[in-house]
Amino acid sequence: MKIKLKKKNTLTIIIVAVLILIGAIASTSSEDTEETTKPAFGSFEEGTAEISEENTTEKSFLSGILNNKEDNTEKKPESSKNTTNKTNKPASTVDKISSSSLPVYKNSPYVVVNNNEPAFTSSQKSGKKSFETYANLDSLGRCGVAYACIGKDIMPTGERGEIGQVKPTGWKTAKYDFVDGRYLYNRCHLIGWQLTGENANNRNLITGTRYMNVQGMLPFENMVDDYIEETRNHVLYKVTPVFKGNELVARGVQIEAYSVEDDGDGICFNVYCFNVQPGVRIDYKTGESALDGKETTTKKPVTTKKPTTTRVVTTKPVTQKPSLPSSAVGNTSYIVNTNSLKFHLPSCSSADDISAENRWETKDSRDSLISKGYSPCGRCKP
């Protein structure tokens, strides 16, 4: 019996050992399988991703998802809005224009306002019908806002007429040799004549310096004019003269413009043009002026007073060349109307109608006159 028991016990031990060995083999196989099925880029525990550093591509991809970032997606192109009038900016910009806090002139004819974005409403931008409105004169006789939706249908088709009969507030006739055309002041259209054809409208004319008229406002007016001529689209256009207190001469004008049909892609700007003239000090209360840094009583410019009967006829100062006689007209390249900003051939019949106050005879070249803001006469086509 004892021997049998020993054999039985031995057999039992062998069986148990075999079972343990089989279990060990199965366990090893299971662990190997588990390792090969793990995600290559990490595991998720309690909703948090642990990123494996062994695969940087998958790490970047998952990181982008977790941080709500785009990955390998096509980026939208930048706006195609015409940036010609956006990038051609002066050195400084301002957030807004207020008569109580005006920008300081720093040798640039204009500054950009509100990042060059006009303040038109969505409703205003949706209109595609031409119109023009001009505010009534205030109690001092000063102009207010001029606002229009300019289309080809309201642009002028004929020759510009005379506007000398209009005397805007603060108007004084003053000449300085160094001023282009010699006259300090122009009758400045708030909305340029080439845009709406408004000529002698006293609600659209202010006393403005030659500098503001030609270097400040004209480039923007030409920009809008060219755009409408080329596209036949409409442009919202708003000009606000900025007066300080009871002053009769505006400190400047704010011009806002926006092309309607293309949502501002063609025209979009908001600028403030300074009503200044380099080298001249202006009394904005009255319109009187003097050389900068000089007392008015010590060195006055050549001025003329309006007679009680007819148009002003001026005599040029000694420092100016006298008008050319008819026998010498061949020495003159062009006759310039400093009021209409047109230049003519000496033989042009329109040149004969220019008043002495607005007449300028010059030997400047055609290109030189155009670069100064003048345009050729449509009749004689110089």
Same-domain pairing of 233 and 102: yes
Same-domain pairing of 190 and 137: yes
Compute, in degrees rounded to 10, the torsion defined by CA atoms 180, 186, 192, 197: -120
**pTM exceeds 0.75 for this model:** no
Quick check: is 71 in a domain? no
Same-domain pairing of 361 and 284: no
Q: Residue 336 burial (CB < 10 Å; 0-12/13-18/19+)?
A: buried
Same-domain pairing of 181 and 134: yes
Same-domain pairing of 302 and 335: no
| pLDDT for the residue numbered 158 | 87
- pLDDT by residue for the chain (382 residues), tens only, comes to 443 444 456 666 677 676 777 666 655 544 444 443 333 333 333 333 333 333 333 333 333 333 333 333 333 333 334 433 443 444 467 888 888 889 999 999 999 999 999 999 999 999 899 999 999 999 999 999 999 999 999 999 988 889 999 999 999 999 999 999 999 999 999 999 999 999 999 999 999 999 999 999 999 999 999 999 999 999 999 999 999 999 999 999 999 999 999 999 999 999 999 999 999 999 999 999 999 875 433 333 443 333 333 333 333 333 333 333 333 334 678 988 876 778 889 888 778 778 777 788 898 888 888 877 788 887 787 8
Same-domain pairing of 137 and 264: yes
| pLDDT for the residue numbered 321 | 32
Rg of the chain over Cα atoms, rounded to whole angstroms, equals: 39
| pLDDT for the residue numbered 350 | 78
Strand partners, 239: 146, 255
| pLDDT for the residue numbered 12 | 64
- Whole-angstrom distance, CA of residue 220 vs CA of residue 144: 20
Check: CB of residue 209 under 8 Å from CB of residue 184. Answer: yes
- Whole-angstrom distance, CA of residue 217 vs CA of residue 215: 6
Check: CB of residue 196 under 8 Å from CB of residue 123. Answer: no
Quick check: is 63 in a domain? no
Check: CB of residue 343 under 8 Å from CB of residue 336. Answer: yes
Q: How far is CA 343 from CA 156, 160, 193, 339, in A?
A: 18, 12, 16, 10
CATH of the domain at 344: 3.40.10
The SS3 assignment for 263 reads coil
8-state DSSP, 183: B
Quick check: is 311 in a domain? no
Same-domain pairing of 136 and 200: yes
CATH of the domain at 144: 3.40.570.10
Final residue of a structural domain among 273, 306, 339: 306
Buried b (16+ CB within 10 A) or exposed e, 40-61: ebbeeeeeebebbeeeeeebee
Q: How far is CA 122 from CA 118, 125, 145, 258, 260, in A?
A: 11, 5, 20, 11, 10
Same-domain pairing of 152 and 262: yes
| pLDDT for the residue numbered 352 | 76
Domains: count for the chain: 2
Same-domain pairing of 274 and 335: no
The SS3 assignment for 148 reads strand
The token pair at 285 is 């209360």
Check: CB of residue 52 under 8 Å from CB of residue 40. Answer: yes
Quick check: is 359 in a domain? yes
Quick check: is 134 in a domain? yes
8-state DSSP, 91: S
Q: Residue 106 burial (CB < 10 Å; 0-12/13-18/19+)?
A: exposed
Range of the domain at 345: 323-382
Quick check: is 250 in a domain? yes
Same-domain pairing of 207 and 159: yes
- Whole-angstrom distance, CA of residue 140 vs CA of residue 117: 31
Helix (H) or strand (E) holding 310: none
Q: Residue 186 burial (CB < 10 Å; 0-12/13-18/19+)?
A: buried
Quick check: is 21 in a domain? no
Same-domain pairing of 271 and 380: no
Quick check: is 60 in a domain? no
Same-domain pairing of 104 and 152: yes
